[in-house]
Amino acid sequence: MAYYVYILASRQHGTLYTGITNDLARRLHEHRSKANRGFTELYNVTRLVYYETFDAPDIAIAREKKLKRWPRVWKIQTIEAVNPEWRDLYEDLNR
């Protein structure tokens, strides 16, 4: 089973959200459909701009915790290293 650490954005350089899941497509659908009330719904954070895949849940959890502690500028640099246009990567998941 794969585990994903992901970063969502409201827009380029907008509000960021870091999360973890074992089903990225399902979790993104939940964020996009506003199925769960909370931060992402309140700030309209639905654009998948970055994600990493892991084989073990403990490694994924450790990575998520590390990313959440990072300064915002580090997160932006990480996103822009692989996704400089801040494209919504959600569309790539369904190909």
Hey, is 19 helix, strand or coil? Answer: strand
CB-based burial label for 49 (10 Å; 0-12, 13-18, 19+): buried
Q: Look at residue 6 in the predicted model and tell me its pLDDT.
A: 98
Strand partners, 91: none
- Of residues 68 and 36, which shows the higher confidence score? 68
Quick: pLDDT tens for 1-45: 999 999 999 999 999 999 999 999 999 999 988 877 788 888 889
Domains of the chain by start residue, with CATH: 3-93 (3.40.1440.10)
